[in-house]
Amino acid sequence: MTKKKEGKKIVFQSEKEMPMMAMSLGSMLYNKTGSWRNIRPEIKTEACIRCGLCWKFCPDTAIEIEDELPVVDYDYCKGCGICAAECPAGCIVMVEERR
């Protein structure tokens, strides 16, 4: 389901390159919101019961399912902690972000 997400920040050199009204031309993927984190989720996959709640409750679609397991996309995870709070198996732990 995942490949590394990529996005480009669009920059205009001249008005000639711009549409005549404010109209989007690209995604927000260039904006790596992972830099907002103070804490990051770490998933103990051996304890995962495959309930899907972490994927379901992530406000930023930063948890994806790969090979029947949740995988955090750390480029975008904002570290809100909802996944850890909602996990019924308690297998997600929020740890201090290392910089």
Partner 1 sequence: MKKVLMGNHALSFGAMLSRSQVIAAYPITPQTQVVELLSEMCADGTLDARFIKVESEHSAMAACIGASIAGARTFTATSAQGLALMHELLHWASGGRLPIVMGNINRAMAPGWSIWSDQNDSLSQRDTGWMQFYCSSNQEVLDTVIQAFKVSEKLSIPSMVILDAFSLSHTYEVVNIPDQADVDAYLPPFDPLYRLTPDDPHAFNGLTSPEHYFELRYKLERDMEKAPALIEETGREYERQFGRYLGLADNYLCEDADVVLVTSGTAGSTARVAVDDLRKSGVRVGNLRIKVFRPFPFDTVRRILKNKKKVAVVDRNISYGHHGIFAQEVKSALYGQGEGTTVFGYVCGLGGRDITPQTFREIVDYARTHEAPEEGILWIGVKR
Partner 2 sequence: MKKDKKMTLTLPVEEYIGAGNLACQGCGANLALRYVLKALGPKTVLCIPACCWAIIDGPFPQSCASVPIFHCAFEAAASTAAGVKAGLEMVGDHETTVVAWAGDGGTFDIGLQALSAAAERNDDILYVCYDNEAYMNTGIQRSSATPFGAWTTTTPVKFFKDRPKKDIDAIMAAHRIPYQATGSIAFPEDVFKKAKKAKETRGTKFLHILAPCPTGWKSRPEDSVKLARLAVQTGLFPLFEVENGEKYTLNVKVKDKKPIAEYLRLQGRFRHLTPDQIQAIQEDVDRNWARALKKFEAS
Q: State the residues that interact with partner 1 by CB under 8 A.
A: 12, 15, 18-25
Q: Which is nearer to partner 2, 68 or 96 (CB)?
A: 68
Q: Which is nearer to partner 1, 18 or 95 (CB)?
A: 18
80: which residues sit within 8 A by CB, 6+ positions away?
Answer: 59, 60
Dmax over CA atoms of the chain, in Å, equals 56
Q: Which is nearer to partner 2, 23 or 96 (CB)?
A: 23
Contacts (CB under 8 A) with partner 2, residues 35-64: 36, 46, 48-52, 55-57, 59-62
Q: Among candidates 73, 71, 79, 69, which has minimal Cα distance to 48?
A: 69
